[in-house]
Chain A
Amino acid sequence: MMTSNEYVSDYTLMELMAATMAREFRDTETAFVGIGPPLIAAMVAKFTHGPNMTIAVEGGAIGSAPRRLLTCIADSTIDEKAYSCLPMWRLFGDQQRGFFNVGLIGAAQIDKFGNLNTTAIGGYPRAKVRVAGSGGGNDIGSSVGRLLVMMRQERRRFIERVDYLTTPGFLSGGDSRQKAGLLGGGPAAVITDMGVFRFEPDSKEMYLASCHPGLEPEQVKANVSWDLKIHPDCTVTERPTREQVEIMRILDPYGLYLGNGRAQMADPEKGFDFYMKVLENSYDMMEQLYKQKS
């Protein structure tokens, strides 16, 4: 088990996204990661090509080695076997100082220069649709070495200019980001359920770098509301390996993030027992995974 680098064909779209995102992390990097599929992607990287990667999460914990799935950027799981538990401002201060190579977050909207909206759609402060707000998103986008973004591909989410610029990407392109005084490197990759996007070195405009298997560039372009550039060498996204998928299914065996596990948990009668089972069963499986990978 888990020695195989062969590609699999029986994977879900979420698994493809998480596997693709995992490849963006490098060994020995310090990574700032949001919860849910982003965290699963980072954990897959850690259990495959990145054993020396350190994952930090916003609440203030660095390098935890949890044996259960994290459900929040700051639940008790993030403290489990951590290297260090700090105040939150201290962790973000470390990021501002330049200790964090890479960060991964999601968004409700993105624009052609990789700016993100996680605050409000259709007006502010009175919004048509209100969402969470910056949280640490603005801080990560401002100061992290490379910003990675994971989100759903929809025409109304990929728009010329975000309704509210919560997290800076490359602002208006070119050198506008440096001119604003931002320290971090800005967005490096955006991974959706349709493809992988990157940014031109000078103009900083987003382009399509690869399409997920079975899709054509024009289909992706139809789900972007500006005139999306397609790289001349636009490829097909690498499929997940057997090893990646097996690790994901150990990390999230009940599909809380990668399947429909959350619906089961919401069941008023059986939800709590189901949740207890998820929590209790995770210990042995994860212990085994750590042993195999250490």
Chain B
Amino acid sequence: MQKKHHTAPVNKVMSLKQAVAQFVQDGAYLSFGGIGDRTPTAAIHEVARQGKKNLSLVSDTSVSFVHDSILIGLGLVDKFEIAYNWGGIWGSDAVYRRALEQEIPQRIEIEEYSNLSTGMRFLAASMGLSFMPVKSLLGSDIPLHNTRIKIIDDPYTGEPVALVPAAYPDVAFIHVQRCDPIGNAQILGHIGDDDSLARAAEYVVITTEEIVPTDEIRRHPNLTCIPYYCVDAVVHVPFGSHGRGCSYCYAMDVPYGNQVNKAWATQESFKRWAEEWIYGVDDWEGYCQKIGWDRLIRLARAEQRYQKYGEVR
């Protein structure tokens, strides 16, 4: 399947409000990138703030409290295609548990994969294909409950192999460290599946810690794992992954996640949390203000003590 629209090398800088309003429809199939690090949390808050509903989401690993679970808890998600959704060091995810154990706030359809097989779904779509083969999933219960996974005999070796369907999201949100105004995005550190995701989605919104001149991009072209032609919007969102970290920019805020975990304990307290932290502010800058710039700067200093782009630490 080929892309439906062509994207030119023109200035694509806009606000997050505008990007979400322009590209996300109710009922859209969305993917929020990052893995543990570079979580596009600002974008998730904005999608929630604009009340986009009946969404389908696809992710490899989503980290609770800053990712897909926010939209699930708000009742905005009908279908969830996922390999892992949990809090990690932050503990268990009460929102996800309520959704799958008690159908609160509503039933969600779930379609599960593993991390590699989700990566293969994005890889397939990134090349315009309809599936990819993978040697995971075999013998497990995952394909028993997900009939979109096909186990076949490999036509070349005769051995069993799993086929996973391509994932072509309508819109992907990807947070990066550096991007120029036309959308050449550079990721520092591990990439997750974002290079494939940027090619798989029809529309791509890059949120970036820093907007840099194109000449700066040209100094290190190998870092550009997402070229401009994948990208439809460039949004400047410093600290856009707060909660999680952003390699070379700021460290993960572990105590923040602990607090959010407590706030999500019941559906009522989750709603109060969302009222305060999502609906109670105008935008991500309002959120940062509320978290406190001092705190954010301390997280940046902590990260940059260990790694800072272009310097030996």
A residues touching B (Cβ–Cβ < 8 Å)? Answer: 35-36, 58-61, 66-68, 71-81, 85-89, 92-93, 96, 119-120, 124-139, 142-143, 164-168, 171, 176-177, 180-183, 256, 262, 265-268, 271-272, 274-276, 279-280, 283
Contacts and interface: CB of A to CB of B under 8 A. Distances in A.
Contact of A139 (B85, B117, B307): B117
Tell me whether chain B's interface is mostly helix, strand or loop, or mixed: mixed
B123 A89 contact: yes
Contact of B189 (A61, A133, A166, A177): A61
Nearest to B255: A271
A167 to B, nearest CB: 7
A180 B161 CA distance: 9
B97 A130 contact: yes
Tell me whether chain A's interface is mostly helix, strand or loop, or mixed: loop
Given A72-B36, A75-B37, A136-B115, A96 B196 contact: no
B119 A75 contact: no
B306 to A, nearest CB: 5
Interface string B99-142: 01101000000101111110110110000000000111111111
Interface in B245-288: 245-248, 250-256, 258-259, 261-262
A135 B117 CA distance: 10
A130 B85 CA distance: 10
B46 interface: no
Contact of A133 (B85, B196, B250, B262): B85
Interface string B291-307: 00001001000110111
Chain B's interface size range is 35 or more
25 contacts: A58-B35, A59-B36, A71-B254, A75-B245, A76-B37, A77-B251, A85-B189, A86-B190, A87-B119, A87-B194, A92-B119, A119-B141, A124-B145, A125-B110, A126-B100, A130-B97, A138-B136, A138-B142, A142-B135, A142-B137, A164-B141, A166-B141, A271-B255, A276-B298, A279-B251
B191 A76 contact: no
A67 B306 contact: yes
Contacts of A171: 139
Nearest to B89: A71
A183 B139 CA distance: 12
B192 to A, nearest CB: 5
A38 B85 CA distance: 20
A120 B85 CA distance: 12
Nearest to B64: A132
Contact of B191 (A85, A120, A128, A131): A85
A181 B85 contact: no
Nearest to B246: A76
Contacts of A88: 35, 60, 115-116, 119, 190-193
